[in-house]
Chain A
C-alpha cells in the first residue's frame, strides 16, 4: 500500500481475514509480578524448574521482576502460556497471561 495515498481504503473480506489471523497469532506472554515476601532464590529456582531456563537466565528474569515490578518471562501460544501460568500459580508466584 502507498503510504502517501490518503484516500479511504475499502476493507475486503481478505483484509479482515488477514487482520483476524494476525490478531490470533499475536504472541501471549506470561508475566510474573513482584511481591515483597517471596525469597529471590525461590523465584530463580521455580523459573529453572518450570521453563528449564539456565541459572543465568532465571536469575536475570528474577532480578527484572524485583527491580521493574514485573517481567514477561515467556512468550508464545496462548495455550502454552496458560499452562505455564498455572504452574507458576501452583508455586505461589503472582503470574498472569496477556497478549503482547
Chain B
C-alpha cells in the first residue's frame, strides 16, 4: 500500500501539508531555534548560520552578511507564519525547505557530525532529529520538483 505523501503539489500550485500536531510542534521548535540563533550570538546554532563567504579575505563584506541575515530571517518568518496551514504556496514551501535545511545543518554541527563516521556514532536523540528533518526535506523536495 502506498504511504500518503506529507507534502503534495496540487494543480492550483498550492502544496498540501499533511502533518499531525506532533510534527507541526516539532517544526515550530525548529523554526523558533533558527529565529533565536540568527540574533543571539551565544546560541549553539549561531556559528553555523554565519559561516564565512570568502574565507581567503580577512572579513566578509558587511552588506553581504546583512543580505544573508535578511534572507534567513525572512524565510524563517514565512515558515513560522504558515506552520499551521493545511496548504502553503510554492514560495512558502521554498521558505520551509530553506529553514529546515538550515536547521538540519545547524543541528548536525551542534552534534559534531562532520563525516559519515560521525553520523554513525551520533547519539540516538541527535540522530532522531537529524533523520526527522531529512525525511521532511526529502518529502518537500519531491513536491517542489
A41 located at the interface, meaning its Cβ lies under 8 Å from any Cβ of chain B in the complex: yes
* CB neighbours of A86 from chain B (8 A): 53, 64, 67-68, 71
A85 near B: Cβ within 8 Å?
A: yes
The CA of A35 and the CA of B61, in the complex, are separated in Å by: 25
Q: Is A42's CB under 8 angstroms from B138's CB?
A: yes
Name which residue of chain A comes closest to B144, CB basis: A45
Nearest CB in chain A to that of B65: its residue: A86
Given known contacts A37-B119, A41-B142, A98 and B104 CB-to-CB distance under 8 angstroms: no
B98 at the interface (CB under 8 A from A): yes
Interfacial residues of chain B within 84-109, with CB under 8 A of chain A in the complex: 94, 97-98, 101-106, 108
For this complex, into which size category does the number of interface residues on chain B fall?
35 or more
A57 within 8 A of B: no
Q: Which of A36, A41, A87, A97 contacts B71 (CB 8 A)?
A: A87
Are A89 and B53 closer than 8 Å at their CB atoms?
yes
- Are the C-beta atoms of B51 and A45 separated by less than 8 Å? no
Stretch at the interface among B5-13, B19-27, B110-118: B110-118
**CA of A78 to CA of B57 in the docked complex: distance in angstroms?**
12
Check A91–B97 contact: CB distance below 8 A: yes
Q: Which residues from chain B sit less than 8 Å from chain A, CB to CB?
A: 51-56, 61, 64, 67-68, 71-72, 75, 94, 97-98, 101-106, 108, 113-116, 118-119, 130, 134, 137-138, 141-142, 144-145
A-B contact pairs, 12 of them (CB 8 A): A35-B114, A37-B119, A38-B137, A39-B134, A42-B97, A42-B137, A78-B54, A82-B61, A83-B64, A85-B54, A90-B72, A94-B51
